[in-house]
Amino acid sequence: MGPYTGRDPDAKKAEWLRQKAPQGHKYGEVKESLSRLNLKTVCEEAQCPNIGECWNGGGDGISTATIMLLGDTCTRGCRFCAVKTSRTPPPPDPMEPLHTATAIASWGVDYIVLTSVDRDDLADGGSGHFARTVQALKTLKPDIMVECLTSDFRGDLTAVHTLLYSGLDVFAHNIETVKRLQRIVRDPRAGYEQSLSVLRHAKQSKKGMITKTSIMLGLGETDNELKETMADLRAIDVDILTLGQYLQVG
């Protein structure tokens, strides 16, 4: 067995783990649009291996991308993430909200996810920038449903409130893992109770707001710890819970 990892270094990877270099007409169109408007995506910054399938439309023919606001540099350093980090990232692009809305409206999609890096260097954590993007998008395409996958804004509930009343339809914030593994997996500035507080406030502060979170599996959590986390999320009326897993392809 290989050192530290527990896997055989000579074992071949499963064929379904191997991805071809992204290409195709729709992929090219989306990439050109994003590049021209200087927009960032989680797909590129997190080095997602499924980028070609999503941008080309997959089985339904609809191109999808998760737009990452507030630049491509995060002020935190969670251990599961490939996005670059810095304590002093460049200031946000003031034209990004309009450019983002323009690009998304041109794609003709009915549902879009907006997310961002953590911006602890900004007074409001970037919530105002988030809100302006949602408002611009709703102006250009009022019927589109918008999900915002946000940071915890350092637990600043005023910042959360700003985004809640921007016109978004789904407020998402990922708790990421069970309580015991928080300090191992996430940046020390994040935290289990802080994330619960943000999700609770989102649900209680605006009637009808849909709240969503996600847990990564395979980090050493036990079944009982997962059940406890699910119970904590249910206790604050989180509407949607997704369970995922990061695969180490390299």
Q: Annotated binding site: which residue ranges?
A: 43, 48, 54, 74, 78, 81
CA distance 238 to 209: 10
150 contacts 173 by C-beta, under 8 angstroms: yes
Residues making up the chain, counted from first to last: 250
30 contacts 65 by C-beta, under 8 angstroms: yes
CA distance 189 to 212: 21
Q: What is the β-pairing status of strands 170-172 and 67-69? A: unpaired
75 contacts 18 by C-beta, under 8 angstroms: no
Which DSSP string corresponds to 6-47?
A: -S-TTPPPPGGG--PPP-SHHHHHHHHHHHHTT-EEHHHHTT
Q: Annotated binding site for [4Fe-4S] cluster: which residue ranges?
A: 43, 48, 54, 74, 78, 81
Q: What phi, psi does 132 have (nearest 5°)?
A: -65, -35
CA distance 125 to 132: 14
